[in-house]
């Protein structure tokens, strides 16, 4: 059940990234309104197919962002997530005071950086009403810092992500507009990130493509 993502190379994005592009209106830097207990219960309603009161095994695969949370959120080490564990992680978002967090991704294919990949971070449905999606395109060294479209930001975007659980879609189109990557990276993405205190923040997160 391992998520095919490695977090390596402690980065130097720094806290400056958290406030970049946000000078026009200070109220856009208010933390999202989380509902920790309700979100934990909702996760069970969405994904607990066998009604055992927790999310495990194949159930986690339905929600890549929760699967990625397992490594830091499974506090009793039973290989599953309970509503209490999910709620506790949401409470960490609240107590951290984070509004935006630095997040950088690099896409490689056979160890070689891939240029021009469109990366979209889509909030999982249990947090979709609380946080916004973010997107970006990889540069000449295959790196991207996704941004959130926001008309009230000084630059029109917020540079960084809200804390939360995301499904990550990766798309690389040909000059004719045809998708060059397997559906498992985009329309049927299996990639997920849980981004929060101590997890995927201020580091370079590398995705190594495997084309079939």
Write the CATH number for 49: 1.10.238.10
Structure tokens at 26: 């200070």
pLDDT in tens, 100-146: 998 999 999 999 999 999 999 999 999 999 999 999 999 999 999 99
Q: Residues 106, 91: one domain?
A: no
Residues in the chain: 212
Q: Residues 73, 153: one domain?
A: no
Q: Residues 76, 113: one domain?
A: no
The band of 212, judged by pLDDT with boundaries at 50, 70 and 90, is: low
Structure tokens at 10: 């402690």
Mark which of 67, 95, 123 sits at the end of a domain.
95
Q: Are 81 and 121 in contact (CB under 8 A)?
A: no
3-state secondary structure the chain: CCCCCEEEEECCCCCHHHHCCCCCCHHHHCCCCCCHHHHHHHHHHHHCCCCCCCEEHHHHHCCHHHHHHHHHHCCCCCCEECHHHHHHHHHHHHHHCCCCECCEEEEEECCEECCCCEEEEEECCCCCCCCCCEEEECCCCCEECCEEECCCCCCCEEECECCEEEEEEEECECCCCCECCCHHHCCCCCEEEEEECCECCCEEEEEEECCC
Q: Residues 166, 182: one domain?
A: yes
Q: How far apart are CA 66 and CA 85, in angstroms?
A: 11
| Other Cβ atoms within 10 Å of 93 Cβ, number | 24
Inform me whether the pLDDT recorded for 1 exceeds 90. Answer: no
Structure tokens at 123: 């909030």
pLDDT in tens, 140-185: 999 999 999 988 777 888 888 999 999 999 999 999 999 999 999 9
The band of 28, judged by pLDDT with boundaries at 50, 70 and 90, is: low
Domain that holds residue 47: 36-95
Q: Residues 58, 111: one domain?
A: no
Within-domain flag for 29: no
pLDDT value of residue 84: 98
Within-domain flag for 31: no
Q: How far apart are CA 3 and CA 208, in angstroms?
A: 11
Structure tokens at 44: 């069970």
- Residue 56 makes CB contacts below 8 A (sequence gap 6+) with 78, 79, 80, 81
pLDDT value of residue 210: 81
Q: What is the CATH number of the domain that holds 16?
A: 2.60.40.1120
Our count of domains for the chain comes to: 2
């Amino acid at each position: 059940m391992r998520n095919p993502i490695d977090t390596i190379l402690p980065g130097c994005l720094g806290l400056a990234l958290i406030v970049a592009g946000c000078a026009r209106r200070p109220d856009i830097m208010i933390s999202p309104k989380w509902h920790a207990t309700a979100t934990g219960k909702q996760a069970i309603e969405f994904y607990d197919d066998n009604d055992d009161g927790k999310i495990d095994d194949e159930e986690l695969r339905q929600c890549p962002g929760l699967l990625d949370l397992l490594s830091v959120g499974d506090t009793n080490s039973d290989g599953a997530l309970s509503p209490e564990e999910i709620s506790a992680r949401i409470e960490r978002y609240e107590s951290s005071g984070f509004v935006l967090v630095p997040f950088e991704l690099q896409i490689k294919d056979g160890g070689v950086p891939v240029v021009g990949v469109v990366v979209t971070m889509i909030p999982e449905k249990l947090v979709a009403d609380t946080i916004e999606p973010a997107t970006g395109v990889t540069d000449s060294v295959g790196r991207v810092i996704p941004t959130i479209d926001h008309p009230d930001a000084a630059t029109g975007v917020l540079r960084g992500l809200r804390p939360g659980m995301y499904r990550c879609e990766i798309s690389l189109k040909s000059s004719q507009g045809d998708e060059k990557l397997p559906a498992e990276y985009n329309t049927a993405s299996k990639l997920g990130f849980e981004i929060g205190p101590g997890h995927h923040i201020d580091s370079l997160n590398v995705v190594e493509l495997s084309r079939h």
